[in-house]
């Protein structure tokens, strides 16, 4: 156990599927997967209860397939299956780091994952296991952002850590607009009114209704997950008034 005192005791880390793809833009980069697993291990060693939700955009994006003419429900279910693949990959990487894990799927597939049961998830976290929530909410038309908000509230997480490729929330895309301004802090209402790309509107509204903070930070900077958990002021915090 470290002498450092974490700011948060129970977190939900939301990763995009694209984060696992690296420079390839698709699939899973084993080096990036290993790096993320190593950072999560450091946070677990602080005594923090860690749960995760991973997107599936590096394998299949339901919304894109739907816009190309595929039935939306079918496309979303395929996207959910992509998140299961990412979850199993991260589980393997974490266990190679010596971290005990459980994957819980919202779509039942007992041969490879536990069914999602809230009380069981809470018990796993209490025992120091990392719980990876796969297959979104199990329903089409809902994103993995919404799944992250829902699961975070169900297990009593103190914060959602939204890992991205930029160091917070900007008023424009900093990769395209050099004059883009970064926000250190935002309210839920500001995010919704300005249409800022933090999480989708359903996920943001859920967090607002239950006063659950969202902290957006840069995953590509090594050590940032631990820094956020220890309370360093990096990224952008979204909270109530």
Strands (E) in 130-234, as ranges, are: 130-134, 159-164, 169-170, 182-183, 185-187, 214-218
Q: Is the pLDDT of residue 134 over 50?
A: yes
Arithmetic mean of pLDDT, 4-16: 95
CA-CA distance, 87 to 91, in Å (whole number)?
A: 6
Residue of 9, 16, 34, 79 whose CA lies nearest to 217: 16
Q: How confident is residue 162, by pLDDT bands cut at 50, 70 and 90?
A: very high
pLDDT single digits (tens) 36-66: 999 999 999 999 999 999 999 999 988 889 8
pLDDT single digits (tens) 165-174: 899 999 988 8
pLDDT single digits (tens) 121-131: 999 999 999 99
Q: How confident is residue 3, by pLDDT bands cut at 50, 70 and 90?
A: low
CA-CA distance, 197 to 142, in Å (whole number)?
A: 16
12 in Cβ contact with 161 (< 8 Å)? yes
pLDDT at position 117 = 98
Q: Is the pLDDT of residue 161 over 60?
A: yes
- Give residue limits of the domains in the chain: 10-239
- The total of other beta-carbon atoms located within 10 Å of residue 165's CB is 11
Q: Would you state the structure tokens that stand for residue 70, as one six-digit string?
A: 């595929």
CA-CA distance, 110 to 114, in Å (whole number)?
A: 6
212 in Cβ contact with 149 (< 8 Å)? yes
* CA end-to-end distance (rounded Å), the chain: 35
Residue of 181, 168, 160, 161 whose CA lies nearest to 236: 168
DSSP letter for 227, please.
H
- CATH tag for 10-239 (out of 3.40.50.720, 3.40.1160.10, 3.30.1490.190, 2.60.40.680): 3.40.1160.10
pLDDT at position 1 = 41
pLDDT at position 37 = 98
């Amino acid at each position: 156990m470290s002498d450092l005192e974490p700011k948060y005791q129970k977190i939900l880390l939301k990763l995009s599927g694209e984060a696992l793809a690296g420079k390839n833009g698709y699939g899973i980069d084993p080096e990036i997967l290993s790096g993320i697993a190593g950072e999560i291990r450091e946070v677990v060693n602080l005594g923090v209860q860690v749960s995760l939700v991973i997107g599936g955009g590096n394998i299949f994006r339901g919304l894109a397939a739907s816009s190309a003419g595929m039935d939306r429900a079918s496309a979303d279910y395929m996207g959910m299956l992509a998140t299961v693949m990412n979850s199993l990959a991260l589980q393997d990487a974490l266990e190679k780091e010596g971290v005990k894990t459980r994957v819980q799927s919202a779509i039942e597939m007992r041969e490879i994952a536990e069914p999602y049961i809230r009380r069981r998830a809470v018990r796993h976290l209490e025992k120091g296991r990392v719980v990876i929530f796969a297959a979104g909410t199990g329903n089409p038309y809902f994103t993995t952002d919404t799944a992250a908000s829902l699961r975070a509230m169900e297990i009593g997480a103190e914060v959602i850590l939204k890992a991205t490729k930029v160091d917070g929330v900007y008023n424009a895309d900093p990769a395209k607009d050099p004059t883009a301004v970064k926000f250190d802090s935002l309210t839920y209402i500001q995010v919704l009114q300005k249409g800022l790309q933090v999480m989708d509107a359903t996920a943001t509204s859920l967090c607002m209704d239950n006063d659950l903070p969202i902290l957006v930070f840069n995953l590509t900077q090594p050590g940032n997950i631990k820094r956020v958990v220890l309370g360093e002021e990096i990224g952008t915090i979204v909270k109530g008034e």
